[in-house]
Amino acid sequence: MNASDKGAKMPSLIKVMLFVALFTATALLTMFQPIWANIPLNIIIPILLLIFMKMVFFERMKLTTLICMRLLVVVTIFGLFSGETCVKIVLVLWMINILEATITDLSKKHYFNAITGFALTLSLLTFFTKQNLGAWNGVYYTLFYNGNIGTICWILSYTLWNWIFVSYDFSPAIAKLHMAVLISPIIGALLSMNPGVWFILRGNSLTTADVTEISFKEKIESSLESNRMTDFVRDTHSTSVQVPLMILNILLVAIPAFFF
């Protein structure tokens, strides 16, 4: 790689790193400050976007769902729901969200990723057991899948599956942005030293990312697009990559269910 190649790559890399920093910081802030940070950043601003910004149906539906999940935390803090009820509602919304994406994959004949999606959806049923049912600590919830190791395995499977879904349905530039979206809650969980907080951090970081993407979509796409990313996305869609990924993802979901 010559100097000009490095110069062309670095700005895009730096932008992705800045997005990671932004999404991680806001995800942690809104988790620990569910009133003073969560309400303005994750509820009021997204609602204003729904009112004043033009967006496609999928964007509007996804943003509405994210607002509801952020609002659920607020009403639980004020005692309108019990912590256990909040956790159960969150799990149902997660199942619906993954199942919607899985059906989309199936309708577009992305069968290998759809199989992973069904496996993730079924695995969420085990989260309702006493062993796995998450906890409410007063300001945020945690969820676990057969302990810390099982939770980490589930997170890795979901992360790989979700990025493939995004790369199928959106441009390579948005797929690059979504790398930052998916890395952020992992960093937040590592900083918190608790994999159980990944679930709320995932929702928080995705809310910030959606607000950012909807507000500056054209600028983001033009600044992050590259031939290398386009080639990389195309390569990941090949059967030779999709089949091993599907097997890996199913193992990541299945092994903790039987051995942890």
Decide: 236 and 244 in contact? Cβ < 8 Å. no
151 vs 4: which has the higher pLDDT: 151
Residue 1 has pLDDT above 80, yes or no: no
- Mean pLDDT (the chain) is 91
What's the half-sphere exposure (Cβ side, CA atoms, 13 Å) at 150? Answer: 20
Q: Minimal CA–CA distance to 210: which of 10, 6, 19, 4?
A: 19
pLDDT tier at 3, thresholds 50, 70, 90:
very low
Range name among 55-69, 122-136, 213-227, 232-246 with the lowest pLDDT average: 122-136
Q: What is the mean pLDDT of residues 239-252?
A: 96
Tokens of 163: 């990025």
- pLDDT of amino acid 125: 85
Domain boundaries, the chain: 14-259
Q: What is the mean pLDDT of residues 2-29?
A: 78
Distance, CA of 57 to CA of 75 (rounded, Å): 27
Q: What is the mean pLDDT of residues 97-114?
A: 95
Q: Minimal CA–CA distance to 42: which of 29, 55, 52, 54?
A: 29
pLDDT tens track for 34-87 = 999 999 999 999 999 999 998 888 789 889 999 999 999 999 999 999 988 998
- pLDDT of amino acid 213: 92
pTM higher than the cut 0.75: yes
Residue 176 has pLDDT above 90, yes or no: yes
- pLDDT of amino acid 26: 98
| Region of residue 154 (phi > 0: left; psi between -120 and 50: alpha; otherwise: beta) | alpha
Per DSSP, which regions of 122-231 are E strands? Answer: 135-136, 141-142
Residue 137 has pLDDT above 50, yes or no: yes
pLDDT tier at 109, thresholds 50, 70, 90:
very high
pLDDT tens track for 197-227 = 999 999 999 999 999 999 998 899 988 988 9
Q: Minimal CA–CA distance to 101: which of 55, 65, 153?
A: 65
